[in-house]
Structure formats: C-alpha cells, structure tokens
Amino acid sequence: AQTVTQSQPEMSVQEAETVTLSCTYDTSESDYYLFWYKQPPSRQMILVIRQEAYKQQNATENRFSVNFQKAAKSFSLKISDSQLGDAAMYFCAYRRYNNDMRFGAGTRLTVKP
Amino acid sequence: AAGVIQSPRHLIKEKRETATLKCYPIPRHDTVYWYQQGPGQDPQFLISFYEKMQSDKGSIPDRFSAQQFSDYHSELNMSSLELGDSALYFCASSSTLGQGENTGELFFGEGSRLTVL
C-alpha cells in the first residue's frame, strides 16, 4: 500500500504566481519526518524543505513553505513567486526514524513565462 | 562539503550481463540506502546498510545483491540483467537519528543510469 499519495500528477503556474502541491500520507507513528524533494531534468534529488512531525510550526525556506496538518496527515508545499527554475518533478517523502524514505508518485510542475 | 559519490554515472549493458554500481557515502554517515527509479516513476527502496550490516530490504530482486565494506562504501551487484532493470539507481546516506547533526534527511548521490539493451 502506498504510504505517500500525491494526487496531482501535473500542475502549472504562471511565473511570479503562487502554487500549492498536495500530499497526504498514511502512518500510525507519532514521530517521523516529512520532506519535499525537487528533481529537475538532471534527475538529481534536491531537498526543498523538511518538517519534523513533533513540531507544530510549519517549516519555511525562502519562497517555499509547507502546511503540515498532522491529524489530517496532510503535507502540502506552497511555492511563492514562482520562477522558471522551479520547473521540475516534486516528490513528497515520508521517513520514520532511522528507516528508509518512502516517496509519492510525484507532481510535475510547469512554470509558464 | 563532501557529497555522496556514485560511479559509474552511466552504464550500458546487454541482457543477461552483470553490472556493479558503487557508492561512497558522506564521511561519518553510518547508513547507506539504495533506490531504483524507473522512467516516470518515483524512487523505490531496494536495500539499506547500517554499520556494514544489512538493515532493511525493500523491493530488491533476487538477482541483485549488495554489501557495505569496511570503508563504508557500498556496492550494488546486478546479475542476469533484464530490459526492465534500465533505470536510475540512487545511493543515499545518512547518520543515525539521535547522533550528531542529524536532520532526518537522506543525502542523495547524482545517480547511476543503467541502460540494458
């Protein structure tokens, strides 16, 4: 069974606009990590942002922020002031402590100039 | 800062041949993970090692094996290659949670692209 679900295979945003990518996950654990990774055409996995489940405050990294709803098991990524370089595949990922990381199917983001 | 090093970056093999991928984790990282990413797919966990011992196993075919050596580098051996093994193979490393500057993040190498003809 898929632990991480990304329901949006593709998303599109106009340059300088804001876009939100959705992610839900399934777990019975109380302590874990959540991540968003970006994979550009080079296919390198680049960490965008991380969230520790025990922290209630949503993580932010410059133009990237998350909306973490632990009870709802939801972890969405908001990209503000979108740039052409943001175009990539975005993977939501879940990791239990000291275990492997599990990925969602990914969302392909297109940024229109 | 040192990153995860994978070699070779590209590899072309024929069906039924054998391939070996190498991974050099970040210094002082004690855990190595191998992932397989097929075209248009998300990375799938294959196997992991903690302190040179296999720690977890995912969807790794029986034709594949892996090990971690005393210098912490790891090798993924793939035999009787099939067309479906064509993929990008990632190695990632991390330090055990609760130790040092652990952030829960897996640090990924740039991947080894295997093409089976």
> What are the chain A neighbours of B111 within 8 Å (beta carbons)?
43-45
A105 and B33 within 8 Å at the Cβ level: the answer is no
Tens digit of each residue's pLDDT (9 = 90 or more) over B50-91: 988 999 999 899 999 999 999 999 999 999 999 999 999 999
SS (H, E, C) chain B: CCCCEEECCEEEECCCCCEEEEEECCCCCCEEEEEEECCCCCCEEEEEEECCEEEEECCCCCCEEEEECCCCCEEEEECCCCHHHCEEEEEEEECCCCCCCCCCCCEECCCEEEEEC
Whole-angstrom Cα distance, residue B56 to residue A65?
A: 32
- Residue A55, number of CB atoms within 10 A of its CB: 10
- Residue A43, number of CB atoms within 10 A of its CB: 14
A50 and B105 within 8 Å at the Cβ level: the answer is yes
User: pLDDT value at position B102?
Assistant: 64
The mean pLDDT value for A23-36 works out to: 94
Whole-angstrom Cα distance, residue B71 to residue B28?
A: 10
B100, pLDDT greater than 80: no
User: pLDDT value at position A34?
Assistant: 96
Nearest chain A residue to B32 by CA distance is A100
Which residues face A111 on adjacent strands?
A13
User: pLDDT value at position A45?
Assistant: 94
Q: Chain B neighbours among A 30-89 (CB < 8 Å)?
A: 33, 35, 42-45, 47, 50, 52
Burial of residue B2, with CB atoms counted within 10 A of its CB: 0-12 exposed, 13-18 middle, 19 or more buried: exposed
A2, pLDDT greater than 80: no
Question: Do residues A86 and A74 make contact, with C-beta atoms less than 8 angstroms apart?
Answer: no
Q: Which of A4, A3, A34, A97 is nearest to B50 (CA)?
A: A97
B43 and A91 within 8 Å at the Cβ level: the answer is yes
> Could you tell me the pLDDT band of residue A96, with boundaries at 50, 70 and 90?
confident
Tens digit of each residue's pLDDT (9 = 90 or more) over B4-53: 999 999 999 999 999 999 999 999 888 999 999 999 999 999 999 998 89
Enter the tokens of residue A97.
């402590």
